[in-house]
Every structure is written in structure tokens, then in C-alpha cells.
A and B are shown apart, each in its own frame.
Chain A
Amino acid sequence: MLVDFFLHLKSRQLPVSTKELLALLEALEARLVTGSLDDFYLISRALLVKDEALYDRFDRAFGEYFKGIESLPGLDVLVPEDWLRLAAKRHLSEEDRLKLQKLGYEKLFEQLKQRLAEQKERHAGGSKWIGTAGTSPYGHGGYHPEGIRIGGESVGNRTAIKVWEQREFGNLDDSVELGVRNIKVALRRLRRFARQGAATELDLDGTIAGTARNGGWLDLHLRPERHNAVKVLLFLDVGGSMDDHIQACEELFSAARAEFKHLEHFYFHNCVYEGVWQDNRRRHDQHRATWDVIHTYGPDYKLVFVGDASMSPYEVARPGGSVEHWNEEAGAVWLERLLSTWHQAVWLNPLPEDQWHYTPSIQMIRQLLGERMFPLNLDGLERAMRSLTRGGKPV
């Protein structure tokens, strides 16, 4: 029986191994589980899942196998979190509660499916849509005699007939959330330690070798400590279409600042031309020539662009194509100059990867970079860092 369960987990893309299955059987033999499905669930989760990002997936796989419930068709949509953000708790009088009509189980799900299909925005305090603090049967923080709670904590009315909490660990899953801390962890892949600075650490091997050479007289050798020696040039696109992605960029930037000692950042608009700037508030009087940048930083720097690369194709391909000023040389020329100076380069794009092929300029820049464009989420960031550590090859 457990072999089937094991294979079921495997088919749901959970990385489980035979060794772990054997351990689970051992646990059963040791009578750690006393006939309760809850205990079995907890033990098998502790043994088979080694990453909280996979809890969500495991919960679903476990539910499918043991309850035999098919995941309800049309119900596996992700409800955007802010619909459910609890704006205010709503207090209802007894009469109000009685007035709310009970819908019945079947009808409830039917309607929920319908609402999920129709609803496009956040609602609060209403009586129909999925949202917070309302008298609609869907959402949380509100009151309905037979509602389905979606997200949030139960407010204590406890009449939800099915707590639809399939996403209890949902926000830990995959690449949905990108916090400063996560970014730091991803950037850490780039770390390269090298010995630099004053010699302060005892070099044991050197001391022993030196002492032996000295005919037994102690000869202390010291060496410098190891430090993170990665150097990064960060080029950030600002303004225009990038306004939607300010938060993601801010987070990336603050994480990068904390992670790398040698980090230089420059701003550009849409595409890199002959000038970049370092302080966004003073961009018009503090231009720095791109040639200057190229000549200042050595080839051991790694180049990271951040931008949505969404613009008119002329801005990349033609002289004079820029939306802001007359550029003598095309953006593509400047990009190639940068790329030939620093071979290790990636482009991080805050747009989701599946939307890239709708925009011609993204395709062009991707080609210029030799396919080294990655989405600005955790997974993309990891791939980008891996590409950089491998000397800038596409992954």
C-alpha cells in the first residue's frame, strides 16, 4: 500500500527516495503511529518532505491519495492575496445573521467557481464577491452562516463548512515570494572567497613546512583572511514601464548592497546609451559617460542588468531612437560594448518569462545577451547567479 503512496508522491514531483520510504516503514514498525491518519500525515511529512516550500505540494498529494477527493475542477485557482486582506472586522447583529440566506453545500461550490471565474479585483465589506469582512459566503473575516473561508484566520464564528486552506504553506512555494532575505540567499551563490588584506591568520601548513625547513625551529607563517571578492556592476532601468516593478528592484538592490562589498550601480532609461547616472534625483546634472565606466572597472567585474527591456525596437536598433534625447549611436552598439568589456553578464527581467515573446525588444536584447536573460524571481535569480559563476554561459 505504501509503495503506491510513494509512487503517487513521486508522480506529483516530490523528490522522495527509497531510503526515505524504508525509514517511513521503520517508523510504522516502531509503532510511532497509533492508527490515526493525522499522526501518519505528520510522520510521513517529517520523513518525506525536507523543504517547507514543498509542504503545499505534499498536502495536496496526500489529500488526493488518502481522501480520494479529486481536486475540484476550477478550484485550483490562486486567489490574489490582497482580496483577502483583512481591512476591518465586521460586527453583525443577530437579526442580520438570520437574514443571511443559507445556500447549501452544492450551491456554495457552484457559486464559488463562478465568482472565481468572474472576479477581477479586490472587494471588502460586500455581500457577493470574494473579499474581507463582508457577508458574502466567500473570503474571511466576515460572517455568513455557511461560508467557505479563503485565507486568513477564522474570526471565531466557526460556521465555515469547508475551510479551504489549501494554501496554508502556499506562500512558501516556489518563486511566488521574493523578499530581501530570499534575494540575499540567492545572491550568495555568487560569493567567491579569496585571501586579501593584512596577514592575520595562522597558516598551519606553511608553519609546519617552514619549521621543518628551519631544522625544527619554530617558524610562524601568517596569511590574510578570506573575503568575498566578487565584484559586481549593477545597471538598473528606471522610470516608465519600470514603475510597476519598483518594489522588486528596491529589494534586489538592498540585498545586493548588503551582499557585495564591491558593488557599483548605475541607472539608465530603457536602454544603455552614452551616459548613465548614479543618483536618480540628480540624473540631469550628474551624468557619467558610459566610456568612462567602461574604462574604470576591470574585466573581473560581473555585469548585471535589471530592466523589463520593453520599449520600441528603434530604441535598441537605431541611432536617435531614444525616447529622451538624441543618441548618436544605437543602444545595441552600447550594449555590445559593455558586453565585450565584461564577459560575465546577465539581464534580470521583472516581467514573467512567459510574456517575453510578446515584446520584440525583449527578444532583441535577449539575443544581444546570448540568451542570458532571467526572470526576476527566486528561481530566475538562482539561474542567473549560476550562469555568472560558470563564467556567464546560458543555463
Chain B
Amino acid sequence: MKFEGTDSYVATRDLTLAVNAALALQRPLLIKGEPGTGKTLLAEEVARALDMPLFQWHVKSTTKAQQGLYEYDAVSRLRDSQLGDPRVQEIANYIVPGVLWQAFECDRPSVVLIDEIDKADIEFPNDLLRELDRMEFHCYELQKTLRARHRPLIIITSNNEKELPDAFLRRCFFHYIKFPDKPTMQRIVEVHFPGLKHELLKEALEVFFDLRAVPGLKKKPSTSELIDWLKLLLAEDIPPEVLRSKEAKDAIPPLHGALLKNEQDVHLFERLAFMARRQS
């Protein structure tokens, strides 16, 4: 069982190696990288390519580690006890299984995505150490230990907002998704827009990488933004010649709103264009 990228996701050699290593050694894979480089998408694509069920756990600032295992719904039990519901005798009726529980119970190997782990409290990763290491946990209310039938492939993404504890990192594979270079980007675009006019693609990529190279941009446009922009270009049917023209008044690429998301960046770019016009 090997992951080689899919028809809709271009994975570089280093990324496929990291995924396959994590699969073979059954260790969690930690993914970092610029926003918009396809961190979250990876888990979906791996699950699709290897035909494994995917369990997603999107972490928020209020998420607790326990919620990924199970939750005990004490309030409904309390309510049921007052209403005299017979279900109240069985505590299992009030245990709500979390993402990891579901993955552990799954009858075939699965993929678990823990998305944006850095959003949670600093203790969050520490609370999951044993669960991810041994792939088992104890349910106190039911007095039983749940063990994974098949160790799931766990993919964790992080945006670097918080540092993760060393003990947690030691248990993971780590991969940093680098911003794709031009040939890779060409492949990525081809996957998303098969049969895109070669001319347009070439010009668009040129504009895109030039834009990324502008010094001092507050937010550089990412892969997902390039894809959006191309979609717009196609929808508006912009001819490649417009992108190519180095005329001063066209120095700002058409539909730049898809690429530059910051007012200051647009100003900066306009200023640079103005200077370029004066020089020529």
C-alpha cells in the first residue's frame, strides 16, 4: 500500500516518502507549511487514494483532547433521570464517541485528520501523547480500555501558532510543505485545469511568480489563490495577451483581488508599477 499522489493532488517526492514512512511505521505525520499549500487536503487525498475511511477532527481554541476520545453527556442523563426515562440505567447511552474512538473501532485501517492542532490549548498535544503512541485509551465511565483494531494513519496539520511540546514531536514524522517551484506549480495547475491553454498558463504563472517576488508584500499569494485566480481568468475569458502586455497601465494584473488580499499590498504594487512606468 503506497501513496503516490492522486489525479487531483500533486505530491512531491519528499511528501510521498513522508506519507509512506508514516504508513509503514504507523506513526503520526505532522504537516506544516504556508497557508494554502494543501495541508488539509493531503489527508482527504491520502484517504481517497488508499481507499480508507477518513475521520476529521477540526481543532478550535476551545477544543479539549478528551473530546476526541469521548464525551460523557451528564446533562442529558440528569434530565432523563428527572423524567424517569429507563435509558438512564445504562451509562453507555450517554457516552458520545469522539473521532479517535470511531477510528479505533473501525473495522479497517483508516485515516484520522487532526486539523490545526496549534489552535488548541497548549496542553492539548500533551493530553494525546499516550493515545497516539499506544493507540488506546481508558474510558473511566464504562471501566474499559479501548484499543485500536487497526492503527489508523494520523495526519496532523499545524500553522505554527504555538510551539508543540518536544515529547509530542518525538513521536511524529515531520514534513514542511515548501512553496512549489515553477514545474511543480505547472503540474498542480494542470491537475486542476486540464487543457488550459498553454499560452495563458505560461503568462499567468509568470505574473504569479513575479508577484510573489515583490519585496515587502504583507501576504504572498499562495497556491490555492493562484487556482482561484485562474478560475476567474477563465470565467472572464481573459486572453493571454492581456497578461503579457508590459504596458504601464496594465502593470497591475487583471482581477488582482484574487491574489492580493491586503489593501496595503495593492498600494505597494501600484506604487511599484508607477515607478516602473517612470523608468521606462
Q: Verify A52–B176 contact, CB threshold 8 A.
A: yes
Q: Verify A216–B14 contact, CB threshold 8 A.
A: no
CB distance from B16 to the nearest CB of A (A): 9
Confirm or deny: B30 has a beta carbon within 8 angstroms of a beta carbon on chain A.
yes
Q: Verify B173–A52 contact, CB threshold 8 A.
A: no
Chain B, interface size category, equals: 35 or more
A208 to B79, CA, bound (A): 12
A20 to B30, CA, bound (A): 14
A68 to B18, CA, bound (A): 26
Confirm or deny: B39 has a beta carbon within 8 angstroms of a beta carbon on chain A.
no
Q: Verify A17–B170 contact, CB threshold 8 A.
A: yes
Confirm or deny: B256 has a beta carbon within 8 angstroms of a beta carbon on chain A.
no
Confirm or deny: A180 has a beta carbon within 8 angstroms of a beta carbon on chain B.
yes
A82 to B160, CA, bound (A): 27
A15 to B170, CA, bound (A): 10
Known: A42-B17, A50-B174. A202 touches B75 (CB 8 A): yes
Confirm or deny: A207 has a beta carbon within 8 angstroms of a beta carbon on chain B.
yes
Q: Verify A32–B173 contact, CB threshold 8 A.
A: no
Closest to B79 in A: A218
Q: Which A residues lie within 8 Å of B164 (CB)?
A: 50
- Which chain B residues (12-39) contact chain A, with CB distance < 8 Å? 13-14, 17-18, 20-21, 24-25, 27, 30, 32
Known: A50-B169, A185-B161. A42 touches B13 (CB 8 A): yes
Closest to A254 in B: B218
Interface string of B128-170 (1 = CB under 8 A from A): 0000000000000000000000000000000011101010011
Q: Which A residues lie within 8 Å of B182 (CB)?
A: 153
Of B13, B169, B215, B218, the residue contacting A82 (CB under 8 A) is: B215
Interface string of B201-231 (1 = CB under 8 A from A): 0000000010001010010000000000000
Q: Which A residues lie within 8 Å of B32 (CB)?
A: 52
Q: Verify B160–A46 contact, CB threshold 8 A.
A: no
Known: A39-B17, A52-B32, A217-B82. A32 touches B75 (CB 8 A): no
Known: A153-B182, A188-B162. A50 touches B30 (CB 8 A): yes
Q: Verify B74–A32 contact, CB threshold 8 A.
A: no
Q: Verify B21–A27 contact, CB threshold 8 A.
A: yes
Q: Verify B17–A46 contact, CB threshold 8 A.
A: yes
Q: Which A residues lie within 8 Å of B81 (CB)?
A: 216
Q: Verify A50–B172 contact, CB threshold 8 A.
A: yes
Confirm or deny: A30 has a beta carbon within 8 angstroms of a beta carbon on chain B.
yes
Of B13, B24, B169, B181, the residue contacting A27 (CB under 8 A) is: B24
Q: Verify B173–A46 contact, CB threshold 8 A.
A: yes
A43 to B209, CA, bound (A): 30
Confirm or deny: A49 has a beta carbon within 8 angstroms of a beta carbon on chain B.
yes
- Which chain A residues (27-59) contact chain B, with CB distance < 8 Å? 27, 30, 32, 38-39, 42-43, 45-47, 49-52, 55
Confirm or deny: B242 has a beta carbon within 8 angstroms of a beta carbon on chain A.
no
Q: Which B residues lie within 8 Å of A211 (CB)?
A: 78
Known: A153-B182, A185-B160. A43 touches B21 (CB 8 A): yes
CB distance from A188 to the nearest CB of B (A): 7
Q: Verify B21–A47 contact, CB threshold 8 A.
A: yes
A242 to B215, CA, bound (A): 22
Confirm or deny: A174 has a beta carbon within 8 angstroms of a beta carbon on chain B.
no
Confirm or deny: A26 has a beta carbon within 8 angstroms of a beta carbon on chain B.
yes
Known: A52-B176, A218-B82. A185 touches B162 (CB 8 A): yes
Of A19, A38, A47, A153, the residue contacting B173 (CB under 8 A) is: A47
CB distance from A157 to the nearest CB of B (A): 14
Known: A32-B21, A42-B17, A43-B21. A86 touches B162 (CB 8 A): no
Confirm or deny: B64 has a beta carbon within 8 angstroms of a beta carbon on chain A.
no
Interface CB pairs A-B, < 8 A, 6: A32-B20, A46-B17, A50-B169, A50-B172, A51-B169, A169-B176
Which residues of B pack against A, CB within 8 Å?
A: 13-14, 17-18, 20-21, 24-25, 27, 30, 32, 74-75, 78-79, 81-82, 160-162, 164, 166, 169-176, 181-182, 209, 213, 215, 218
Going nearest first, the 10 A-B pairs with the smallest beta carbon separation are A50-B169, A52-B176, A46-B18, A50-B174, A42-B14, A46-B173, A42-B17, A30-B24, A32-B21, A19-B170
